[in-house]
Amino acid sequence: MSKSDENQIEHRLKILSQIEPSSEATGRAIQRARDTLINEKSRQSSGTRIWRTVFKSPIAKLAAAAVLLIAVGYATGRLSAPQPLDMEGLQATLESSLKSSLEPAIRQDLLEEINGRWQSAFAAGCAQLKEELQRQVRRDLTEFAAQTLAASGTLTNQRLMELIQLIEATRWRERQQIEAAFEQIEQEKILLGNGLLAVAAQTNELLSTKQ
Amino acid sequence: MRDRQTELLELLDKSGANLYALLTRLTLREDVAEELMQELFVKLSNSRHFDKAGNRQAYARRAAINLAFDWRRSQKRNPLRLDQVREPASNDSSPLGKLVRTEELDEILNAIGRLNRSSREALVMRYIQEESYDYIAEQLGKTAHHVRALCSRALNRLRDVLGHDQRLSFEKEKHNVKK
């Protein structure tokens, strides 16, 4: 590095050192900083005055330290403790997980239980039903038999009546025929008597003539 | 224990003008220096270390230097819009001279911004604030000999940085001319 460069640097630094802000600008900057500080002071003083008064005595300081320790312990305990449950979220999560995990099993169990109940009910009912059916069949058969008997009795009576009537009619017709035959026989007997009489009369007349 | 705001108001009365001048020299802008001055006192008002600082004035000056160079770095990252440009603070009267001078001063200030914190503080106090070595040593809590060494190293580093930057810009110019 040359001497001229060194001089140039020092010259520039010299110029920098000679820069002076205007007195108006300086006054304005100082006033602005002052206003800011005063605003800060009024803002902070309201909050800090009470604490400064309280923390003057060492007992208050010790009490504050104890309170701080308790608060820290409490906060640590709270932070390390399990977080309060979000009941709705938990309920929704549990509901969905239980639904997804238990629903098929519950459904299966329910179906099996219904099947079992149906089977046991059916088994119990089957014997009862069988007995009932038997009774019903027996009753029906009895009734049918009675009805059949009644019907057959009626029919038999009817047939018997018809047979009786037929027999009566046949007997009556035969009697009529016999009667008519007897009448014919009587008529023929009469005719025979009359012939015999005629023969006797002629014989007498012939004998009388021969004589 | 005295109220911090009262102490800060006293500091403002005592060193406000110096701090504002320092901020103006480091930013080359009066409006920015005014903003940074306000920011400086807000920071000091909320700073935990201010009460512990042995020398409040030195602490405030260090904070001002850091604020100014932070602003310069932020300006590099976020260049100014045209409506934000203000006339730079300079003692030169001609517009062209003012422009050239501002460019040169910006260059050296940016180079100072690249120094480490203790070298930068020592250099600023020695060459821009024109304080004596003994005073700087007292303010920084170092020996005068140590401050002298710091300033010397800072100048050497500044030469390196500026020389490197100039070589780079010269190469760039040569490349543009060849094109």
For the stretch A175-209, pLDDT in tens is 999 999 999 999 999 999 999 999 999 999 888 88
Residue type, A189: K
- B6-30 burial: b if 16+ Cβ within 10 Å, else e: ebbbebbeebbbebbbbbbbbbbbb
B contacts of A42 (beta carbons < 8 Å): none
Arithmetic mean of pLDDT over chain B: 82
Mean pLDDT calculated for residue range A58-65: 76
Comparing CB atoms, the residue among A19, A34, A37 nearest residue B25 is A19
A37 in B contact zone (CB under 8 Å): yes
Comparing CB atoms, the residue among B37, B45, B108 nearest residue A13 is B108
Q: Which of A2, A4, A30, A52 to mutate to test the interface with B (most CBs of B within 10 A)?
A: A30
Lowest-confidence range among A23-32, A118-127, B2-11, B123-132? A118-127
Contact B101 A36 (CB under 8 A): no
Contact B41 A36 (CB under 8 A): yes
Task: Number of A to B CB contacts under 8 A, please give it.
Answer: 104
User: Over 60: is that where the pLDDT of B84 sits?
Assistant: no
Give CATH 1.10.1740 domain extents, chain B. Answer: 1-89
DSSP states along B103-120: HHHHHHHHHHHTS-HHHH
Comparing CB atoms, the residue among A17, A26, A34 nearest residue B20 is A26
B106-153, pLDDT tens digit by residue?
888 988 988 888 899 999 999 998 999 999 998 888 899 999 999 999
Q: What is the pLDDT of residue B82?
A: 46
A120-141, pLDDT tens digit by residue?
777 777 788 888 888 888 888 8
Contact A21 B127 (CB under 8 A): no
CATH T-level assignment (fold) for domain B1-89: Rna Polymerase Sigma Factor; Chain: A (1.10.1740)
The two tokens of residue B125 are: 């106090």
Give CATH 1.10.10.10 domain extents, chain B. Answer: 95-179
**CATH of B95-179 among 1.20.1730.10, 1.10.357.10, 1.10.10.10, 3.40.30.10:** 1.10.10.10
Contact A34 B89 (CB under 8 A): no
Q: What is the pLDDT of residue B68?
A: 92
Task: Please indicate whether residue A54 or residue B147 has the higher confidence score (pLDDT).
Answer: B147
A155-166, pLDDT tens digit by residue?
888 888 898 899
**What is the distance between the alpha carbons of residues A168 and B151, in angstroms, rounded to a whole number?**
171
